[in-house]
Structures are given as C-alpha cells and as structure tokens.
Structure 1
C-alpha cells in the first residue's frame, strides 16, 4: 500500500529567485493526485524536492514518520527506495535494451539472483504491456513505449510512492489516454501513492482523486478533484478553459495594467466546463481512492457546472453511482466473495452515500 506525503511550509529558491514558498499539502496514501500549473512554476522542482534530490530552504516533507530534509545521507538513501520516478522522457540508457534498463535498479540496489531479476523484470514489463519487447533498444521503439519502459523500471523495487513528471510530454492525445489507463490500473493493482505533474487538462479532469495548482510562487489550491473543478478562482477558470483572459500571462502572471484592461473590456475566461465522470480501471472495480460523483459538491453546498458527471452515453453518474455500487456488491455476493486486490475495498462498505465525504 502507499505512503502518505505531508508537506509543511516548504520554500525553495535558487539564489534570489523564489520558486515557491510556504507550500503545504497532504497527498493521501494510496490515491492518485495531480499537480497542475503554468510552465515555470516549479512543478518538476517540487518533485525533485519530494525525493530528496533538491533540498528546500525551509519546511518539512514527511514521508510516513520521516522528515526528508532532516535525514542523514544513509537514511535518505533508504527512504528513496520507497519511491519510483518516471521522468519526462523516460530517461532510458540508450545503449541498453529494455530488459537491462528495467533491471538496472535491481542490479544496483539489491543482491538478487539473475533468475529472480528476470522474473521481476518480465512481470513489470507485462504490467505495462511491453512483454515481448524486452530485447529492443530505446531508439527502436515509440515515445509511448519508452514511457512505459521507464514506468516498468520505476516499478521494479515495488515502490510505495510513484512520482510522474509530465507523462504526456511528447505524446499524442491517444497515447496519453492509454498511459493514463495504465496509471489507473497500476494504482488499483498495487495501491501505491501517485503524484503526477502534468499540463494536460483532460488528464487532470478525468484521472486523479485529488488536484493541486501551483501559481505565483505558491500553492493556489489542493484537494479533492471536484473542489478544483468547481472552483470559481480566476486562475483555475483560466487554466481549465485554456483561455488567454485571466491572471496567467506569457511570462507567468500578468501585471495590474493588463488585468485592469481586461476588466474594463468585459473579457471573461469563460464558464467552468462540466465535471466529467472519473475514469475507471479496466476491470471496472472501484479503486480505494475514488469518490462518489458529486459527493464533495453536495457536502460543501457547491453547485457544479451544468452537465457535470454526465458521460458520452448520457448517463448521469450522480444518479447512476448507487446502482453501480449495488450491482457490484450483488455480483460479488453471487460469486461468493468480494473480488480483492491491493488498494480496493468491499463496495458495500465504501463511503459513497451523497454527502458522506469531506
């Protein structure tokens, strides 16, 4: 199962340039969280700080009961084994085939026999759909396959936390959708904590359990998916609508004169788009981190944008969800037991009544 990440008052700068300051958030254990933000807001720096590659100026990063910035080198080395990292370009060794790339962490950090390494590597490659491609070189495969090979390598030490840096970078929308499905299925299967940095709005709207937004050198918002997708904050509306109107400018933020000119002209970043139903794992079972559609909005008295939670078939998932959960429970009962997997609980004992979540 995954480990909770708790960040308190984190600040990072390079010289006089403040990247972000006083960032506080909690990434729930075993759930999928996404971090959004305009280019240049330090999202990748944030991931590097979480894994201890960069040391913050001040603040705390609690991984379980360990405060990362205050660990000795030996304890930091051990704590890093809790992490798997998927870099933007996969970061594969070009001279090694995929098998050796994926096996590298096992050979570097363990004393396992080659027979056991082979079993683990092939298992992880099968999990990401690359079984049969283990003898190919990185230069012989597509960008999407390189991403999946990097993901298999990130999984070989059975991490409890998976950090993913812009997985959609260099991929077309179709491959991005397939990769998102891999993330969902992996989370359902292994129950690890996922934190994904992305610019892809569709990914942020359909994939995660929680969303955060970095902006103007601070964390503008972090919480359940519906909280951000129903927010009327100008920067959120602008980002979700990919609009030129709003506080985000080409260099990061607009100055006061630009914002005043937009206000005088009556320009608006537009209404928030409807909140789509959350993407499901391939097996159709409920992940531990999933929330009932509309539950957060109902609990907090928020009216979501019109058309929210309606899928392509016209089904309203606020109404459909109780029936879906009941049908799963009935199917499990007929089978004699509730299907089990790491990161999943009995749907009959989940918290899916409207208004039950905070």
Structure 2
C-alpha cells in the first residue's frame, strides 16, 4: 500500500546557486508520478532530497507524519525502509556480483534465511531480465544491465515508495517498453507510490497518472496527465511535445531576440493524448482513472483523436477529431 508524499515550499541551494525554490506538490498515494525538466534543473536533486540524502534549505517533505527535512537520524532510518530507490547509474557495489548486490537490502534489513533470500532475489532478477547474469560483476556488464540490476535491488523489500531516476537511460526502445510495462504491473500489484524521473517522452505519454515539470528553478506545473498533455502553457507544451518553438533553448532559456523571432510563428497542433498502459492482466489499476475523465470534469477539450489505440501508437491525425475518439473521451467533438 503506497503512502502520499507532501512537499511544501521546498528550496535547495548549493552555496549561492539556487537549484529550485518554493516547490510544493503532493505525490498521491499509490499513483505513478513522473518528473520532467531540461537537463540540469535539479530532478535528481529532488529525488535525493525526498529520501533525505540531501537537506533542503527551506520547506518540508512529510511522509507518514514525519518531516524528512527536520527529523532525527533514527526516524529518517525508519522512514527510509518504505523506499526503494533506483539511482541514475544503478549504484552497484563494484566488488559484489549482481546476486549479492540485489540481496544486500535483504541481508541488511531482514532476518530471512539464505534460501528465502535466494528465492526473492531470483524472482526480482527474472522480472528485469537478468537470469543468467547473477554472478557477473557490475564492471562486466553494460550500463543498461546495471540499471536493471539496480531496479531488482530496489524491489526486493517490496517498498511502498519507489524513486526511479532515468530508468530508460542506457536501454534500447524494446527494453524501455518492457520496463514501462513492468512499472505499471508493479503498481497494480503493490499499490506503491512511484516517482520517476525521465526524458523519454513516449514513456511520459503512456505511463504516469501525474506529471510535473521543473523549469528555470521552479516547478512550472504538476497535475493529472491529461492536464499537462492538453496544456497550452508554453514551456509545458514545448517540452512534452519536443518542439523547438518555445521558451526552452539549448542553454535552458532562449534570449529575447530568439523569443521575439518566434512570436508570430504558428505552433504545430497538440498531438492526441494516448491511452495509458494497462496492467498485463487487463485489470485497471486502483488509482487509474478512465480515459478523458479529467478533461470532462474540468471542461477541457482534449486534442483531436485523443484516447484511441491509434493515438497510443502515434498515428492518429492531430488535425481531425473522429466521432469515435470524442465518444471515448466523453467530450463534445471539435467543429
């Protein structure tokens, strides 16, 4: 059973450099959340702050009534037992083989027998496709395999909160799709709270329940997936649709001359909102809302062609709304 994470007015600096300031959001219990942002905007710093590896300069991170930002080391140790963490580089112990790396949390935090540990470790390694590699050292395998081994280790204690930093880096598109499906299946099985940092736009469009975007030292937006995927907010629209037109430039922000030159440029239409991935067994997750429900509740007309199988595969027309699409979405067709 997942728990919610309440973040209020969070600010983090390194010396005089502000990473982000006054960040406030709630990660709902049991939902899959994704945090986006241009490179260097502090997404990994946010994950490390949530788990207490870094202390914020201001604000709070409250989990089960405990403020991670100000609690004692003893309380922090106990709260961390709720977490599973997949770091960006896998964070493997170089002198241990993959089996021992994955088994480490079980040996450190439980009194399970070695036979029980072996059963759990092999189950998790099978889930991430590493059977046969369990006795290899981290230095003997690819970065993608190290990432998958890190995921197996994050899962062995059946955490209530999973923090996942760029799970798709180093993975080919096929294995990225497998990992996405695995996250959805795990959430359905455990009802754990997920926070995933990623740059993979396809994953963002089909996996999460909630999406957030860090930009220019603040949280630009956080909310239901349909809210952001139908948003005309310039930075949100640009990032989620991988467009060159908008406030984000090669060095994060464009200068005034670039923005002025784009002022009268016509933006391409928003692509259709894809259907969310469903668990492999076809049974919707507890926290998964029906397609188009958020749009209906908030009077938002989604991009034409949304919430169809065609939209999921990126082949629906962005310029024509079909009767079938609008019926599924539950909103009036665009005339």
- Give the TM-score taking structure 2 as reference length: 0.90
Partners of 1:26 and 1:236 lie apart in 2 by 19
Q: Which residue matches 1:286? A: 284
- Residue 269 of structure 1 and its aligned partner are, at CA, apart by 4.2
Cα deviation, 1:298-335, whole Å, max 9, x if unaligned, reads 111111111111213989577469xxxxxxxxxxxxxx
Q: Which residue matches 1:210? A: 210
Query: Is the 2:35–2:213 Cα contact (8 Å) retained in structure 1?
Result: yes
Q: Which residue matches 2:220? A: 220
Report the 3-state secondary structure (helix = DSSP H, G, I; strand = E; otherwise coil) of the residue aligned with 1:296.
helix
Partners of 2:170 and 2:232 lie apart in 1 by 31
Bigger shift: residues 131-140 or 95-104: 131-140
Give matches, 1:96-111, under 5 Å.
96-111=96-111
Does the C-alpha gap of structure 1 residues 306 and 130 become closer, same or farther in structure 2, counting only changes over 3 Å? same
Q: Which residue matches 1:115? A: 115
Q: Which residue matches 1:236? A: 236
Bigger shift: residues 18-27 or 109-118: 109-118
Report the 3-state secondary structure (helix = DSSP H, G, I; strand = E; otherwise coil) of the residue aligned with 1:59.
strand
Report the 3-state secondary structure (helix = DSSP H, G, I; strand = E; otherwise coil) of the residue aligned with 1:105.
helix
Match of 1:307 among 305, 308, 311: 305
Query: Is the 1:241–1:272 Cα contact (8 Å) retained in structure 2?
Result: yes
Does the C-alpha gap of structure 1 residues 309 and 108 become closer, same or farther in structure 2, counting only changes over 3 Å? same
Q: Which residue matches 1:62? A: 62
- Residue 141 of structure 1 and its aligned partner are, at CA, apart by 4.0
Give matches, 1:1-358, under 5 Å.
1-263=1-263, 266-312=264-310, 316=324, 319=327
Partners of 1:317 and 1:245 lie apart in 2 by 28
Cα deviation, 1:107-126, whole Å, max 9, x if unaligned, reads 22333332232222223223
Report the 3-state secondary structure (helix = DSSP H, G, I; strand = E; otherwise coil) of the residue aligned with 1:89.
coil
Partners of 1:147 and 1:282 lie apart in 2 by 22
* Unaligned segments of structure 1, at least 5 residues: 322-353
Q: Cα RMSD (Å) of the superposition? A: 2.0
Report the 3-state secondary structure (helix = DSSP H, G, I; strand = E; otherwise coil) of the residue aligned with 1:48.
helix
Cα deviation, 1:71-130, whole Å, max 9, x if unaligned, reads 101111111111110112222223322211101112223333322322222232233343
* Unaligned segments of structure 2, at least 5 residues: 317-321
Query: Is the 1:97–1:136 Cα contact (8 Å) retained in structure 2?
Result: yes
Query: Is the 1:246–1:269 Cα contact (8 Å) retained in structure 2?
Result: no
Query: Is the 2:308–2:328 Cα contact (8 Å) retained in structure 1?
Result: no
Partners of 1:226 and 1:135 lie apart in 2 by 44
Give aligned pairs, total.
321
Cα deviation, 1:214-271, whole Å, max 9, x if unaligned, reads 11111111111100000000111111221221100112112333212221xx224422
Does the C-alpha gap of structure 1 residues 64 and 246 become closer, same or farther in structure 2, counting only changes over 3 Å? same
Partners of 1:62 and 1:130 lie apart in 2 by 35
Partners of 1:59 and 1:320 lie apart in 2 by 42
Partners of 1:181 and 1:104 lie apart in 2 by 26
Cα deviation, 1:146-184, whole Å, max 9, x if unaligned, reads 322111100112211000001111222222111111111
Does the C-alpha gap of structure 1 residues 317 and 121 become closer, same or farther in structure 2, counting only changes over 3 Å? farther
Q: Which residue matches 2:319? A: none
- Residue 23 of structure 1 and its aligned partner are, at CA, apart by 0.5
Cα deviation, 1:35-63, whole Å, max 9, x if unaligned, reads 11111111000000000000001101011
Partners of 1:282 and 1:317 lie apart in 2 by 24
Query: Is the 2:292–2:328 Cα contact (8 Å) retained in structure 1?
Result: no
